[in-house]
Structure 1
């Protein structure tokens, strides 16, 4: 409910109170908020539980599947936002490096081409999720029955170690996931660092323009930290702890879906808090007058 309300509020504030100097960036914010609404609904409908276990001679990560297609949809959906964030970083970089390129964001052909990046990310993660095998050997079923006296079925198992032997096919899946995540982070770091460098060395930018770019960039950094904190870190712990034979004593893997549920709501909240125009307009709606600057 909080995710739905916060993102509807953000869409309203962006549509109603964005100033002209926000340019096409406001449309990116609306796309983000609309997608977060979709994520909120998808999470509420599917919410597959994730767990990890480590034993001296075996360790594994696992997640429950309602169906193969729902699992693919869920994994693909929650891995797209970081790709969208990189599109946002590209917009910021062009805004200070080559503003004429921003007109491309109004070109249907360019938008279609650019959309291939997040779509490709989603498809790639969906394919990876289906490479994780079903528990045909009944290893997890036997483990839970012997430890908890509970019978469970329908799990996909990323079985890192079998005895003292590395499970090579599962290791390749893990490496593929790490490569995709590292690729996304590398793009974000490059575009962010180049944008900061351009702002610092620019001689012709007005004070107001620099202030606006720094304000938007600060909000974008905070917005980027949200999926990192609430999606990538818990998910990373769920699949990496068993591989490195680390006992998940804090039960981060079991809390993975709880953390993920926070993501869509906080994604909108950080934008409203950090962009002064939207923050002031929200306060004014509740009869708290603010001084604009």
Structure 2
């Protein structure tokens, strides 16, 4: 059992993460709009979209205040609404779009203009929306949580024991074993969840590897252009590792461990603390790894802006 003191620590961490996430992403939005060099082109708008969504995620987390508990190796999610679950699929689909941009920037630079085309942007938006809708529907139609169900009552009691709050509904329950019998529906939902997670990671990894390969093989661009491509890609890789470590791995564990009858060893208590830290850490990573924004942030506190030279890189978009 997780100690009450540890639960209180995780709750404090969540509150700190929410405040930090809002502040950091507001600062990042300002830095991107103020200090992005012209050579970044439309890529800065992708950064704006991502920072805006991180801000939204932080607000959603603070509003819903969800928690996860496990009773008898069965996952119960208190206040973990379908909307909240689905909202964390969007950052990774946005990462895939970022990788596509970076891949085209080095392999097919003539296609970058598509990111200024409204129809293509609608197609990309539908890609992110499809992941959200799929996860949402799986939660709504694949999981249970009626107020009068025995499993819901057990979850309510465990939730009250942990957090001293009496939440009567809004539970999403994956009851893998019911009355000693295997329950197929939550197992199918689990398979779909894990498939989405691994598909996103595989697609992002493939685009990353291809981009690294073409950067290494590029002969028609200057050394500075190659350096800039590598720098932006490294930042994107760091951004991609964050949702994997802070969101997808915890999600995978809390969904899969109960099915395998493996104790969570406190992960359910820490899960929301991990999730809530993602938006703030993501913004910090971008500022730290991208010199223009790092210098811009320093200049904000020093009251002056250090000049950042704009270097032309010809027809190669970044």
TM-score normalized by the length of structure 1: 0.90
- 1:182 is paired with a residue whose SS is helix
1:61-92 CA deviation, whole Å, 9 max, x = no partner?
111238xxxx2321222221100000000000
Per the alignment, do residues 72 and 157 of structure 1 end up closer, same or farther by CA in structure 2, a change over 3 Å counting? closer
CA contact (8 A) 1:51 1:238 kept: no
CA contact (8 A) 2:100 2:207 kept: yes
Tell me the residue number matched to 1:186: 202
Tell me the residue number matched to 2:173: 157
Which runs of structure 2 are paired with 1:164-203 in the superposition (5 Å)? Answer: 165-203=181-219
1:82-138 CA deviation, whole Å, 9 max, x = no partner?
000000000000000011100000011110111110001110110011121115531
Tell me the residue number matched to 1:262: 277
Does residue 132 in structure 1 map to residue 143 in structure 2? yes
More moved, 181-190 vs 143-152? 143-152
CA contact (8 A) 2:76 2:155 kept: no
More moved, 188-197 vs 140-149? 140-149
Which runs of structure 2 are paired with 1:7-86 in the superposition (5 Å)? Answer: 7-53=25-71, 55=72, 59-65=73-79, 71-86=81-96
Distance 2:68 2:20 in 1: 23
- 2:145 is paired with a residue whose SS is coil
Q: CA RMSD in A?
A: 2.4
Could you tell me which runs of 5 or more consecutive residues in structure 1 were left unpaired when the two chains were aligned: none
CA contact (8 A) 1:132 1:157 kept: yes
TM-score normalized by the length of structure 2: 0.83
What is the count of residue pairs matched by the alignment?
284
Per the alignment, do residues 125 and 236 of structure 1 end up closer, same or farther by CA in structure 2, a change over 3 Å counting? same
CA contact (8 A) 2:69 2:77 kept: yes
Per the alignment, do residues 35 and 184 of structure 1 end up closer, same or farther by CA in structure 2, a change over 3 Å counting? same
Distance 2:49 2:155 in 1: 44
CA contact (8 A) 2:78 2:167 kept: no
